[in-house]
Amino acid sequence: MKTKRLVVLWSIAALLLLICACAPAARPVLEAGDSEVKLRSIQSRVFDTPDENRTMRAVIATLQDLGFVIDKANSSLGIVSATRLSGYVLKMTVSVRTRGETQVLVRANAQYNLQAIEDPELYQRFFVALSQSMFLAAHHM
Amino acid sequence: MRYKIVIQFIALMLGLLLMLNNCAPMVPRAALQLAPENAGQRLLQSRQFDTDEPTLLSAGTAVLQDLGFMIEDSEPAYGLISCSKHRDASRTEQMIGAFALAMFTGVMLPVDREQWIRASVVTQPVAVDTDSAKCRTAVRVSFQRIVRNQLGKVSRLESLVEPQMYREFFEKLSRSLFLEAHEL
């Protein structure tokens, strides 16, 4: 009798877990994983140059070096989007805007197949590549 | 009775694994990492021409049109043209292979049907002068494609790295620059 009850309990637990696992991530439209502040600091870096155009051209060159094809860009907003195909789809949008008189703020966000990337290490790698291409150090905000 | 518990336990573990998998996307280590082969690709995809940026951009647009690409976006302030085209992707050898397999096994494997080829051309001034003949501008082109099979499923997502393709593109580009210079 006791084993039977145990089997039923196990079954319910397993079923619940499977349902949870299969459910899509909640709030796909207005999602903001951790906190916006934390995410922004992971995805942003500051460079000591006032030249927005030069920075954006370096961003585009870096994306090309990393195997991306550029999809779209807009100079009045200072944004660029690019896609990398390599058995998976990696999409990235990067924005550049001036910060004060002497700096630019670069922000990147990326998406791997159907998921937003929130891993700080991946953004760090991108900014390392970018600062090599700009011959400038990347500062955190 | 005991084996049932074992089965339930396995299901529970599978559920847990799925949940963990759902939480953390497995992004490949190579993504967003500069590798030595990137430098080789840059050489393959880049050239420099003795002309100014606007001339090179319009010559590039003409080449892309010659190749049947549809321009999707352009931003002269960043020296960018991006474009794409849809083409047939069926290959005779793949069809013969699938047919032969079907003859022997009765299983028909789906074959590739269409491809969406995407490209971006980016220019970068190297030397700027009021005389356009003294200017020097670098250009980098890159191609990639998404192939779908006859079931409409994606079968390939890849960068195109055949050197021949890039050589041909730059040959056409230098011819196009010549034609532009002579207003043909």
ipTM of the complex: 0.81
B158: closest CA of chain A, how far (Å): 5
Asked whether B120 and B141 are in contact (CB, 8 A), the reply is yes
Task: Domain A40-140: give its CATH architecture.
Answer: 2-Layer Sandwich (3.30)
> What is the pLDDT, as a whole number, of residue A21?
58
> What is the pLDDT, as a whole number, of residue A80?
97
Mutate to test the interface with B, among A9, A11, A17, A130 (most CBs of B within 10 A): A17
B45/A64 Cβ within 8 A: yes
Structure tokens at A28: 């796909």
Rounded CA separation B152/B150 (Å): 5
Mutate to test the interface with A, among B1, B32, B81, B148 (most CBs of A within 10 A): B32
Structure tokens at A86: 């390599």
Number of Cβ pairs < 8 A linking chain A and chain B: 147
**Which residue is closest to A88 within chain B, CA to CA?**
B157
Rounded CA separation B171/B176 (Å): 9
A56/B78 Cβ within 8 A: yes
Q: Does residue B18 surpass a pLDDT of 80?
A: no
**Greatest Cα-to-Cα distance within chain B, rounded to the nearest angstrom:** 89
Q: What type of residue is A69?
A: V
Domain limits of chain A?
A: 40-140
Residue in the block written with tokens 């003409």: B62
> Band of the pLDDT at B29, cuts 50, 70, 90?
confident
What 8-state DSSP symbol labels residue A25?
Answer: P
Residue B104, helix vs strand vs coil: helix
Structure tokens at A118: 């929130």
Rounded CA separation B48/A31 (Å): 44
Rounded CA separation A81/A89 (Å): 13
User: pLDDT tens, B82-92?
Assistant: 999 999 988 88
Q: Does residue B58 surpass a pLDDT of 90?
A: yes
Chain B residues closer than 8 Å to A122 by CB: 27, 31-32
CA B87 to each of CA A35, B65, B153, B173: distance values in angstroms, whole numbers, following the listed order:
44, 15, 16, 22
> What is the pLDDT, as a whole number, of residue B95?
85
Q: Does residue B21 surpass a pLDDT of 60?
A: no
Pairwise pLDDT comparison (B62 vs B25), residue with the higher score: B62
Pairing between strand B80-88 and B112-127?
Answer: antiparallel
A18/B14 Cβ within 8 A: yes
Chain B residues closer than 8 Å to A25 by CB: 22
> What is the pLDDT, as a whole number, of residue B91?
83
Q: Which of residues 10-39 of B touch A (CB under 8 A)?
A: 11-12, 14-16, 18-19, 21-22, 25, 27-28, 30-34, 38
Q: Which residues of chain A have pLDDT under 70?
A: 1-2, 17-28, 31-34
User: pLDDT tens, B127-149?
Assistant: 888 887 789 999 999 999 999 99
Rounded CA separation B136/B52 (Å): 6
> Band of the pLDDT at B42, cuts 50, 70, 90?
very high
A78 backbone φψ class: left, alpha, beta (φ>0; ψ -120 to 50): left
Rounded CA separation A62/A126 (Å): 8
